Amino acid sequence: MSDAQTNKTWGGRFTESTDAFVAAFTASVEFDRRMYRQDINGSIAHARMLARVGVLAREDCEAIVRGLEEIRTEIERGEFAWSVELEDVHMNIEARLTERIGDAGKRLHTGRSRNDQVATDIRLYLRDAIDAILAELKRVQGGLAELAAREADTIMPGFTHLQVAQPVTFGHHLLAWFEMLKRDYERLVDCRKRVNVMPLGAAALAGTGYPLDRHYTAQLLDFDAPCANSLDAVSDRDFAIEFTAAASILMTHLSRMAEELVLWSSAQFDFIDLPDRFCTGSSIMPQKKNPDVPELVRGKVGRVNGHLMALLTLMKSQPLAYNKDNQEDKEPLFDTVDTVRGCLRAFADMVPALHPKRGNMAQAARRGFATATDLADYLVRKGVPFRDAHEVVGKAVRLGVETGRDLADMTLTELQQFSPLIEFDVFELLSLEGSVAARDILGGTAPNRVREAAVLARTWVAELP
């Protein structure tokens, strides 16, 4: 048998080779090879640090660095022969290094274990992934801020219980989405701080007797600091759980946005036109244009929530320090990253292309007595207690329901039968424009407030790194 087949990494201790099924069952290379770049960068930093503190000869360090860089090229060219027998990305790369440069390659693992190595790789990987996600999120938010500025005067019905409640502006609605995503952005930035701490130097679990300069390695890898406790460093994956939790919340927000796009693009609402490139047709019904992209985003929240549950359950009750259970952290984490990136990209492309059908939106706000609260407030200003005003307007709405008309379509005489305090000036209030303009309060839907909020949103995006 060749070295690769018997896996000589721990050959010294073993009297028989690993069972073929067990080798396949315990291997992670099929999925952890995606961290090859982080693994190589981590190894280069470790080697340079070993040379700096005098544990590794300069020539060996140079050979290691060169060898690892060549391996990176091999992998990127698709020329690297990944082997399941070598279990994971770490041992595949290390074995290849030794194959290429001989004994120097065998010195790389001095003062290191796969336990601190893998924890480092995941953190490096996740840090890069968070940065990519933040960039995509910024694109979505930039698009929302622009669209909101443009649609600050566009009136649509605001809903509670999915029933028409009060008129709002489309810009205001878009900025509600913006606020949701802003918190997601901040959550990820905050999570990144706890991701960006370096396990290397923890070795298997207890630290190492070699005089490693952990601060130097951390600096080479752009980590904020080395982890403070070796047992914690190799064993906890709370940073991955935290990221996935933040991703779940973000996906929940995207699913709500997606749901509204699905509703709005239906014939029943008909508030927006979703460009054809984000839709697909039906193989049987020629008239169909289905909002597949938002529907998929809405559906994908399920897998991310599942991954969060998987990671929480994986970590639960694990005794210190490293356990093989932790190998199961990668697939949920990677799929969360891919899913979030894909959904954000879809939204970043879709948002600027949304075409609001302003006439339909206003028409819908006119139905459903969206200005009933305005009439009640009008009576309150004339001295009627709010509860009585509520009752009066309720009666007027009933007449509207019976006669198929909005409050604004009634004559003054008709309205006055409900309250003699109603005068001609009421009609300005009962108009949609009058209603939204009246919500002129910080955080309210009045167009001038929405314009102000859109400027703040744009500035917030512009000031992001």
CB 348 within 8 A of CB 270: no
- Cβ proximity to ligand ARG, 164 vs 203, nearer residue: 203
Q: Least distance to ligand ARG from the beta carbon of 91, Å?
A: 8
- The least CB distance from residue 282 to ligand ARG, in Å, is 44
28 binds ligand ARG (CB under 6 A): yes
Q: Is 326 in the site for ligand ARG (CB under 6 A)?
A: yes
Question: Residues 6 or more apart from 98 whose CB is under 8 A from it?
Answer: 105, 106
Q: Which is nearer to ligand ARG, 115 or 305 (CB)?
A: 115
Minimum distance of ligand ARG from residue 28's CB (angstroms): 4
Q: Which residue, 330 or 366, has its beta carbon nearer to ligand ARG?
A: 330
Nearer to ligand ARG, 10 or 424 (CB): 10
Which residue of 109, 112, 114, 449 would you call a contact of ligand ARG, by CB under 6 A?
114
| 250 contacts ligand ARG (rule: CB under 6 A) | no
Closest CA to 232 of 343, 123, 100, 371: 123
Single residue of 93, 104, 118, 370 touching ligand ARG by CB under 6 A = 118
Q: Mask of contacts with ligand ARG, 419-458, x by CB under 6 A?
A: ----------------------------------------
Query: Contact between 324 and ligand ARG (CB under 6 A)?
Result: yes
Residues numbered 294-323 forming contacts with ligand ARG, rule: CB under 6 A: 322
Q: How far is the CB of 206 from ligand ARG (least distance, A)?
A: 13
Contacts with ligand ARG by CB under 6 A: the residue count is 10
Position among 38, 83, 115, 196 found at the interface with ligand ARG (CB under 6 A): 115
Minimum CB distance to ligand ARG smaller for 84 or for 176: 84
Instruction: Report the C-alpha gap between 384 and 376 in whole angstroms.
Output: 9
Active site residue 282: yes
Residue 7, interface with ligand ARG (CB under 6 A)? no
- The residue annotated as part of the active site, out of 2, 43, 46, 161, is 161
**C-beta neighbour count of 14 within 10 angstroms:** 12
Q: Is 94 in the site for ligand ARG (CB under 6 A)?
A: no
The letter for the amino acid at 85 is: E
Q: In this structure, what is the dihedral angle of CA atoms 241, 246, 252, 256, given to the nearest 10 degrees?
A: -170
Q: Minimal distance in Å, beta carbon 272 to ligand ARG? A: 45
Tell me how far, at minimum, the Cβ of 326 lies from ligand ARG, in Å. 5
What is d(CA 169, CA 179) in angstroms, rounded to the nearest whole number? 16
β pairing state of 163-169 and 197-198? unpaired
- Cβ(198)–Cβ(218) below 8 Å: yes
| 32 vs 260, beta carbon nearer ligand ARG | 32
Residue 329 Cβ, how far from ligand ARG at the closest point, in Å? 7
Q: Please, are residues 199 and 287 in contact by the beta-carbon 8 Å criterion?
A: no
Site of tokens 């006669």: 403
Residue closer to ligand ARG, measured from CB, 337 or 372: 337
Asked if residue 88 binds ligand ARG (CB under 6 A), the reply is: yes
Q: Is 13 in the site for ligand ARG (CB under 6 A)?
A: no
Verify binding: residue 121, ligand ARG, rule CB under 6 A.
no
Provide the CA 103 distance to its chain's centre, in angstroms.
44
x-marked contacts with ligand ARG along 29-58 as a string, rule CB under 6 A: ---x--------------------------
Among positions 387-426, residues that touch ligand ARG (CB under 6 A) are none
Q: Which is nearer to ligand ARG, 67 or 199 (CB)?
A: 199
113 flagged as catalytic: no
Q: Which of 166, 327, 371, 445 contacts ligand ARG by CB under 6 A?
A: 327
Task: Compare residues 101 and 314 and give the one whose CB is closer to ligand ARG.
Answer: 314
Catalytic residue annotation: 161, 282
Q: Contact positions toward ligand ARG, by CB under 6 A?
A: 28, 32, 88, 114-115, 118, 322, 324, 326-327
